[in-house]
Each structure stands twice: as C-alpha cells, then as structure tokens.
Amino acid sequence: MAVVYKAFAKLNLTLEVLGKRPDGFHDLASVFHAVSLADRLTFEDAADVSCDVRGMALAPADNIMLRAAELLRETAGLDRGARIVLEKAIPVAAGLGGGSSDAAVTLVHLAERWRLADRVSLADLAAQLGSDVPFFLGTGAAVVRGRGEQVEPISPATHGWLILATPTHALAGKTGRLFAVLTPDDFGDGRATERLRAAMNAGEPLRDDWLVNAFSRAARATFPALAETWRRAEEVAGRPFHLSGAGPSLFALAANEAEAHRAAARVAAATGASAHVCHFEPQPRLRAG
Ligand code: C5P
C-alpha cells in the first residue's frame, strides 16, 4: 500500500556556534523551528530500495534519503526494500534542512512499515546520517545542542507567517566550507538561544532582534551576491531578513499572510531569488494520507 508523508523544512531562529571540538565538528546552540514548506514522500513496498526524485535534479550521491533507507535495512539485518517517490519543494543545500527532513521521515516511516521500532534507535541512526536529522524525528520547535543530536522540545512560536528567499548557489560541500571559514569572532556563548527559549516557552511574540546566526558574516563573504540580495530583500520588503542554517536562505517575519505574499513577490522580482510564503508548523503531522 502506498502512503504519503510530508517532510517539512526548518528555520534556525538562533544559530550559535559555541566552538570547535576535537572531533572536527562544532558545538551548537540553536532554536530550530519547522515551517510549512514541505517535500512529499510516497512509500511503496519493493524488493530493493530505490528513489525517484521529481521537481528538482538531485545526484544519487546527495540523496541522504536513500542512505537512510539502506542504513535502517542494514542495521536491522532485513532483506526488504521500498520504492520512494520524492517530490521536492524545499530548495536543496539551502539552509532549510530539506534533505535531513526527507531522511528523518524515511527512518520514521520505514521503521513503522518494517516493524522495527523496538529493535533500532532512530535517534542514533538519525545522528549518524547528519547533524540536522535528529530534529526532524518529531517535534515542531526545539533547542538543539551538541553537534545537533541533543534535541529539547520547546513551545512553538506564536507568530505565524514568514517570507523565505533562497538565492541559487553552486558551492559544493557548502556546510563544511561555511564551518571552516568561521573565526572565533563568529562564535557565541549560547545566551541568545537561552533568551529565545525562555521567551517562546512564555508564549511571547518573536522579535527580530532576538534572531541571530553565527554564519551571517561568513555567508555574506562566501556566497557570491548574497550581500546584495540580502540588502535588496530588506529594502523592498521593509523587514529585516535573517539567515537560516549556513545559508543562503533568508527569512523575514511578516504580520500576516497578505503581507507575506506581497513582500515575497517584491523580493523575487528585485533579487531573482526563489521566494516562498510559509508559516510555522507548531507540531508537524508527518503522515499526509
Ligand atoms: O553532519 P553534516 O553532514 O550535516 O555536516 C556537514 C559538515 O559540516 C561536517 O562534515 C562538518 O565539517 C560541519 N559541521 C560541523 N559542526 C556541526 C555540524 C556540521 O563542523 N555541528
């Protein structure tokens, strides 16, 4: 039987890099929030694991979803497969966690389909696949720490609508490169994340001056034309934009859906970036049908 799931994108409302670790990764403190922009995944039984990608070109080596299915199969010592159709809507390698979300949904669904819930730790497998994957195993809003594997759910944002702007880029190994160009001046102490956690848990509306991202300087210096796109987006939307993840996606809070649509159209026309309107997902329901 074919079942359909949504895999939601995320934004980093804060992203503080605390320092570099002996294993080469960096310790983070970040508020992650799911948003309504989503890929669609359809699963069916099959002899082998395979994946058809629609809507965007994606090299098989970049398909973390295939790796998720294979890792689960190997860990459980199973001889079963699945045909997965992935309809991409979330821009790839953009700071929105699309691939990580696809991988997490694949783990969640195939563990259920193959009745492995008691036999494998999805949290462990998610952390092996990528630093952003554990967040996507279930919650809408969380403080994420460590390399990304420590996920503490918090109250979702009370604010609703957002404008996203994603410039194209061709930077291979983007996340690793951006981490590599951080300097100690870009590092934070986790206080911005603590402040936002307290405000969200108290149900306070989001404020632009609470949103910080350690990659803001490095991303402007690394993605060609990002600085100009950023400036123009703020000018035509009349709102501050913030970086998500290691970029290059930018987001802004909007007062309501109508403002978000107006601003997104202006940003797309002025910058050529792909613009989306979305809202926060307080508690994602992954299964769509
Ligand atoms: O875990 P993921 O595959 O997303 O990480 C990609 C690269 O980003 C890593 O190889 C590492 O260089 C860097 N990274 C890091 N610290 C993190 C997450 C990622 O240095 N917490």
Q: Tell me: the pLDDT tens digits for 225-243?
A: 999 999 999 999 999 999 9
Which two tokens mark 7?
A: 């895999």
What confidence category does residue 223 fall into, taking pLDDT thresholds of 50, 70 and 90?
very high
Cβ proximity of 228 and 80 under 8 Å: no
Q: Whose CA is nearest to atom 7 of ligand 1?
A: 176
pLDDT at residue 49 in the model:
94
Residues of 196-216 as b/e, b for ≥16 C-beta within 10 angstroms?
bbebbeeeeebeeebbbbbbb
Structure tokens at 100: 């990580």
Is the model's pLDDT at 2 over the cut of 80?
Answer: yes
Question: pLDDT of 143-182, one tens digit each?
Answer: 999 999 999 999 999 889 999 999 999 898 999 999 999 9
Find out whether the beta carbon of 148 lies less than 6 Å from any atom of ligand 1.
yes
Reported as a single tens digit per residue, the pLDDT across 38-82 is: 999 999 999 999 999 998 888 777 789 999 999 999 999 999 999
Alpha-carbon gap, residue 172 to 160, rounded angstroms: 33
Beta strand pairing call for 81-87 and 49-54: parallel
> Could you list the active site residues?
10, 132
Banded pLDDT at 289 (limits 50, 70, 90):
low
288: tokens are 């769509």
Locate the ligand 1 atom nearest the alpha carbon of residue 24 and give its number. Answer: 20
pLDDT at 288 over 90: no
Please give the biggest Cα pair distance in the chain.
Answer: 56
219 in helix, strand or coil?
A: helix
**Average pLDDT for residues 245-251, to the nearest whole number?**
98
Q: How far away, in angstroms, is 180 Cα from ligand 1 center?
A: 10
Going by their DSSP bridges, the two strands 212-213 and 161-166 should be labelled as unpaired
- C-alpha to C-alpha distance for 279 and 135, rounded to whole angstroms: 18
Instruction: Give the three-state DSSP class for 60.
Output: helix
pLDDT for residue 236: 98
Q: What's the CA gap between 128 and 244, in Å, rounded?
A: 22
Give the dihedral of Cα atoms 168, 171, 172, 173; nearest 10 deg: -100
The pTM (predicted TM-score) of the whole model is: 0.96
- Expressed in angstroms and rounded, the spacing between residue 59 Cα and the centre of ligand 1 is 20
Omega before 248 cis (within 30°)?
yes
27 in Cβ contact with 80 (< 8 Å):
no
> What is the reported pLDDT for 16?
98
**CA 25 – ligand 1 centroid, Å:** 6
CB 218, CB 159: distance < 8 Å: no
